Amino acid sequence: MNQMAELLSSLDWSPLWISLKTGIVATVICFFLGVFTAWKVMNINAKAKAVIDGILTLPMVLPPTVAGFFLLLIFSRRRPLGMFLWDNFNIKVIQSWMGCVVAASVIAFPLMYRNARAAFELVDRDLINAGRTLGMSEYDIFRRVMLPCASPGILSGAVLTFARALGEYGATSMLAGNIPGKTATISQRIAMVMMDQDYITAGIWVLIVVAIAFVLMLLMSRISAKK
């Protein structure tokens, strides 16, 4: 027990804080963007919806390293967007904590989008039509009818989004790197200590991740039970 206590006291906890703040910020971004996009996509024609659907959910089926490769191309300071962000706002995405957020947001976004869209599609169309009959604007219908009815599904999507962002590894490693105290997340830390054959430290981090995942699954079950 004393050895375990000493190990925990000497453990660098920065990967946990980096992962948590990355997951929270990425979830907030994905939440608002995913809900808004899902609402807008619902109102377009079927052919365009299929194409947009495929584009928006592509990061979910691509290997994370492939997504990371494209993000590197987009945000490189030799590319237009990367140059623009650096020259005008002094923003550097590659090898920075912002890179962690961007990578986690891109990879986790499809979960938020798909869950929000599925939740909106389950809303009773009679309620929406009744709102239109009463003269409500589309925005008011969205805010006062669709969001309250779809809230359990949207919240479940937010929980899954946070879990996915928290555990992101491939795209984050390629875009943000593995800088201790800056971009090194829990997943990256586990990979690094495993390379050093430090199974005890790896096991501690694995237990931490499992505990967080278990809590998130309990939370999602509670939300689903309220549907």
Distance of CA 99 to the CA centre of its chain: 13
Helix (H, G, I), strand (E, B) or coil at 201: helix
Smallest Cα–Cα separation from 39: which of 165, 161, 164, 153? 153
**Stretch (H or E) spanning 47:** helix 46-61
Is 4 contained in some domain?
no
What's the rounded Cα separation, in Å, for the pair 183 and 100?
7
* Residue 108 contacts residue 26 (beta carbons within 8 Å): yes
- Token duo for residue 128: 């929406």
What's the rounded Cα separation, in Å, for the pair 202 and 199?
5
Is 3 contained in some domain?
no
Helix (H, G, I), strand (E, B) or coil at 126: helix
Helix (H, G, I), strand (E, B) or coil at 161: helix
Is 58 contained in some domain?
yes
What's the rounded Cα separation, in Å, for the pair 95 and 117?
33
Is 9 contained in some domain?
no
Domain count, the chain: 1
CATH number at residue 179: 1.10.3720.10
Q: How far is CA 222 from CA 19, 187, 205, in A?
A: 24, 27, 26
Q: Tens place of pLDDT for every residue, the chain, 227 residues? A: 555 666 666 778 899 999 999 999 999 999 999 999 999 998 888 888 889 988 999 998 899 999 999 999 999 888 888 889 988 888 889 999 999 999 999 999 999 999 999 999 998 888 888 888 988 888 899 989 999 999 989 999 999 999 999 989 999 999 998 888 899 999 999 998 888 888 888 888 999 999 999 999 888 888 776 65
Report the greatest alpha carbon distance in the chain: 70
Residue type, 79: R
Q: What is the pLDDT of residue 82?
A: 87
Helix (H, G, I), strand (E, B) or coil at 89: helix
Is 5 contained in some domain?
no
Which residues contact residue 113 at a Cβ distance below 8 angstroms, ignoring those fewer than 6 apart? 30, 34, 37, 38, 56, 57
Is 81 contained in some domain?
yes
What's the rounded Cα separation, in Å, for the pair 41 and 120?
11
* DSSP tag of 145: I
Is 7 contained in some domain?
no
Is 173 contained in some domain?
yes
**Whole-structure pTM value:** 0.90
Domain span including residue 32:
14-225
Q: What is the pLDDT of residue 77?
A: 84
Q: What are phi and psi of 11, to 5 degrees?
A: -70, 135
Q: What is the pLDDT of residue 7?
A: 64
What's the rounded Cα separation, in Å, for the pair 154 and 171?
25
